[in-house]
A and B are shown apart, each in its own frame.
Chain A
Amino acid sequence: QKEVEQNSGPLSVPEGAIASLNCTYSDRGSQSFFWYRQYSGKSPELIMFIYSNGDKEDGRFTAQLNKASQYVSLLIRDSQPSDSATYLCAVNKNYGQNFVFGPGTRLSVLP
């Protein structure tokens, strides 16, 4: 079992819709969870992080964490074509340790 799993996609949604991206992780000791957006040929950009169970909202983005289910998700409201990218889920076990990345989900927002 891979440490961090994501559906590779592509996930296609129409412009203005809600895009839902999911991620599961295997290590129950994981502490922090991150969502990155990566455009082709570019370095990942941090969207948001979450470390407590529940929801965390930032603009059009909402991260949801359920540690009991070892599940973290990212919702993108009012999706725009510019949101088309690969979204990487990353997990951090402890302060100062490296991130473990999922394979990424490719999102395509259709105009």
Chain B
Amino acid sequence: GAVVSQHPSWVICKSGTSVKIECRSLDFQATTMFWYRQFPKQSLMLMATSNEGSKATYEQGVEKDKFLINHASLTLSTLTVTSAHPEDSSFYICTPTGRPMEAFFGQGTRLTVV
């Protein structure tokens, strides 16, 4: 099955700094990557969709200048949380598309902004 590697699995950063999260698809080429966010005791909410070689699309209410997405290759998509604040503390999860019947998620990144 598809293997998705997400890094780091957890990170603590100071308010105002930036954090980069990587999502790699290890055994197939992902033209599209979905980025989800999950706040405590809530479900996964789609933040944005990254597309290889083109601009990402963002869901309503998600600031594109704050959550920078780069999908430069078919195996790597990155999400950078810029000028992080405590309210950005959440669980960030990626999943590639292309095999909808076997949707696998990255391990997730627990971001804590202090």
The answer to whether A and B belong to the same complex is yes
Interface residues of A, Cβ cutoff 8 Å to B = 32, 34, 41-44, 46, 49, 51, 88, 90, 92, 95-104
Closest B residue to A92 using CB positions: B100
Task: Tally the A-B contacts, defined by beta carbons under 8 Å.
Answer: 52
Cβ of B60 within 8 Å of any chain A Cβ, yes or no, is no
Q: Is the interface of B mostly helix, strand, loop or mixed?
A: mixed
How would you classify the secondary structure of chain A's contact residues: helix, strand, loop or mixed? loop
> Which chain B residues have a beta carbon within 8 Å of chain A's beta carbons?
6, 32, 34, 36, 42-46, 49, 91, 93, 95, 97-98, 100-108, 110
Known: A42-B108, A101-B45. 13 other contacts (CB 8 A): A32-B100, A41-B91, A43-B93, A44-B105, A95-B100, A97-B100, A99-B95, A100-B46, A101-B36, A101-B43, A102-B43, A103-B42, A104-B43
**Could you give 30 example pairs across A and B, Cβ below 8 Å?**
A32-B101, A41-B91, A41-B110, A42-B107, A42-B108, A43-B105, A43-B106, A44-B44, A44-B93, A44-B105, A46-B102, A46-B103, A46-B104, A88-B43, A88-B44, A92-B100, A96-B97, A96-B98, A96-B100, A97-B97, A98-B46, A98-B49, A98-B97, A99-B95, A99-B103, A100-B46, A101-B36, A102-B43, A103-B42, A103-B43
